[in-house]
Structure 1
């Protein structure tokens, strides 16, 4: 079984004493729960122990609303997930969030098995996805039950590290509104961060309006898939509210090429938002992952997109923020 305590991060070709590597870590899964921490499926860790992190991926899931017609979305092989994560580790990766909630076919036991086998911190989510998936489970319109469902997960044996909700293309259904409000209420109560699915990058402001109305600060929210619409004015308006901007379609050519994505990240950073930017790949199909015979795989962001960033004008400090420093802050649970 892989033990993450036996490994250290490598650098990315920086000069001299520069490194993307965080300082010496404490033993994992032994963080002080009264202080900010990140919850993995094996237990809590210090935020500084997170290392290079991809904050929005799909490791092990079976979203029935999709796989009934498109089996490509069924990621059900623990052995292949381990193989893909080992490649991610070799490329420098140290942590990954599986953004699959229960209605998207989440497998907590399987994620824990994977986390015990590979040298990568695995983080799960709780909550509901967008309408298509959320309505496959009961109580989709019962906000109190949804809150209790999230709290039960947080108190469970295998704990999630984030709360999630989703919205549909250019609309928020009543089901999605209830899930969003439940997520925000529990986040306010527990100090958990929230990550969202914003279909094709739409409804970002409306998502923030909902959670703010429940008392949750935008700075505790990661708005997903915003790189589906690379409009600077739109992205700037969201960033000005203090939320995290998730550029999580890296390497997915079907959702746009990488160079404009890298250029927009640099433009936003130069505009003063470098501390609110996150990058990931959101690989969700067999055909996305090398271990399943597809590509580009989870190594793409670290081996290729970092080069795109530097060619777009990003310096090493910005790349480190995107990969290490920002995820450590965005994923931190802030105890009440």
Structure 2
């Protein structure tokens, strides 16, 4: 296994995958920076991503399209199937980063929230440092939490605060679901203001769903990473505006803050079931973006940018 590089002689910067830590430079192929191989939610009945064979087929299609790394943002209690991720990564040759964390309360049965208990930060740290499911399991490589719609409710404040504690204990990056792409600055105020998380350790998800370029520039200017994920969803305003949205950010000097992902959340959205799925991010979307942007800029969004965003100076 590659040896993670040393930073300042004390900590190692590494991309924490389900099969072990790797140097940031070992990010393999193009990266889908936000997606799901497995996911279940009461909000998506009958569309569960729960079939290992379908996940394996999706990874094969992703690899054939030029993909090499996928960051699965499925958090605690939503059917991550972490042990399957290890096998699938080894068989496909695709590097997989898994998540700890907690989504919005609506995505859980009440007993699941009750089972988590009061020490969310402790749960997140354990899954980052010991393993998902207990010591010896695959370790998570980021914390995934969620904001609210145009603001932060009590559940969001609780989970974001726990994510900040986990970051300070481990150095892990924090990926944040923004409800319909809103509330980005509220999230940064809590995480990077009150809780003291460096903005470069925050990845803001779903910004494609809210075409507010002023907010995009403000978040990028603060140092956060901006994830434009789920571009195949044509009912979102920026599906057809995505090239010009990204061009504005690149022209403003923020091309190094942009990440691209697919956010495949339903079985029907997988490429093997007729949807765009993971291959679209590294093939169809890439080809579409180079019609507007320089190819080198698009390649950085799929390679160098996620390598920096998800490689962590681990403290434990």
| Deviations, residues 86-130 of structure 1 (Å, cap 9, x unaligned) | 111011100001110013222211212211221100110011112
Per the alignment, do residues 298 and 272 of structure 1 end up closer, same or farther by CA in structure 2, a change over 3 Å counting?
Answer: same
Per the alignment, do residues 257 and 234 of structure 1 end up closer, same or farther by CA in structure 2, a change over 3 Å counting?
Answer: closer
Aligned equivalent of 1:331:
310
Q: Deviation of residue 239 (structure 1)?
A: 1.6
| Deviations, residues 290-313 of structure 1 (Å, cap 9, x unaligned) | 22x22112111222111221112x
Secondary structure at 1:298's aligned position in 2?
A: helix
Question: How big is the alpha-carbon RMSD for the aligned residues of Structure 1 and Structure 2?
Answer: 1.7
- 1:238 and 2:219 matched: yes
Q: Deviation of residue 133 (structure 1)?
A: 2.6
**Any conservation in 2 of the 1:85–1:118 contact (CA below 8 Å)?**
yes
Secondary structure at 1:222's aligned position in 2?
A: strand
Q: Deviation of residue 259 (structure 1)?
A: 3.6
**Any conservation in 2 of the 1:102–1:127 contact (CA below 8 Å)?**
yes
Structure 1 unaligned spans of 5+: 1-26
Aligned equivalent of 1:58:
36
Per the alignment, do residues 32 and 257 of structure 1 end up closer, same or farther by CA in structure 2, a change over 3 Å counting?
Answer: closer
Q: Give, in whole Å, the separation in 1 of the partners of 2:223 and 2:211.
A: 18
**Any conservation in 2 of the 1:75–1:285 contact (CA below 8 Å)?**
yes
Of 151, 156, 160, the residue aligned with 2:125 is 151
Matches within 5 A, 1:168-247: 168-212=148-192, 213-247=194-228
Aligned equivalent of 2:58:
84
**Any conservation in 1 of the 2:167–2:197 contact (CA below 8 Å)?**
yes
Q: Deviation of residue 260 (structure 1)?
A: 0.9
**Any conservation in 1 of the 2:32–2:282 contact (CA below 8 Å)?**
no
In the alignment of these two chains, the number of paired residues is 301
Q: Which has the higher contact order (CA 8 A, sep 6+)?
A: 2
Secondary structure at 2:43's aligned position in 1?
A: helix
| Deviations, residues 39-65 of structure 1 (Å, cap 9, x unaligned) | 1111111111113111110101222x2
Residue range with higher mean Cα deviation, 255-264 or 324-333: 255-264
Aligned equivalent of 2:290:
310
Q: Deviation of residue 273 (structure 1)?
A: 0.4
TM (normalized to structure 2)? 0.90
Aligned equivalent of 1:20:
none
**Any conservation in 1 of the 2:127–2:140 contact (CA below 8 Å)?**
yes
Secondary structure at 2:150's aligned position in 1?
A: coil
Aligned equivalent of 1:103:
77
**Any conservation in 1 of the 2:31–2:282 contact (CA below 8 Å)?**
no
Q: Give, in whole Å, the separation in 2 of the partners of 1:270 and 1:88.
A: 30
Aligned equivalent of 2:114:
138
Aligned equivalent of 1:269:
250
Q: Deviation of residue 32 (structure 1)?
A: 5.3
**Any conservation in 2 of the 1:185–1:215 contact (CA below 8 Å)?**
no
Aligned equivalent of 1:128:
102
**Any conservation in 1 of the 2:185–2:219 contact (CA below 8 Å)?**
yes
Q: Deviation of residue 139 (structure 1)?
A: 6.2
TM (normalized to structure 1)? 0.85
**Any conservation in 2 of the 1:263–1:309 contact (CA below 8 Å)?**
no
Q: Give, in whole Å, the separation in 2 of the partners of 1:186 and 1:32.
A: 22
Give 4+ residue runs of structure 1 displaced > 2 Å after superposition: 30-34, 133-136, 139-142, 254-259
Secondary structure at 1:36's aligned position in 2?
A: strand
Aligned equivalent of 1:42:
19
Q: Give, in whole Å, the separation in 1 of the partners of 2:206 and 2:148.
A: 12
Q: Give, in whole Å, the separation in 2 of the partners of 1:303 and 1:146.
A: 38
Q: Deviation of residue 137 (structure 1)?
A: 1.8
Secondary structure at 1:96's aligned position in 2?
A: strand
Bigger share in strand: 2
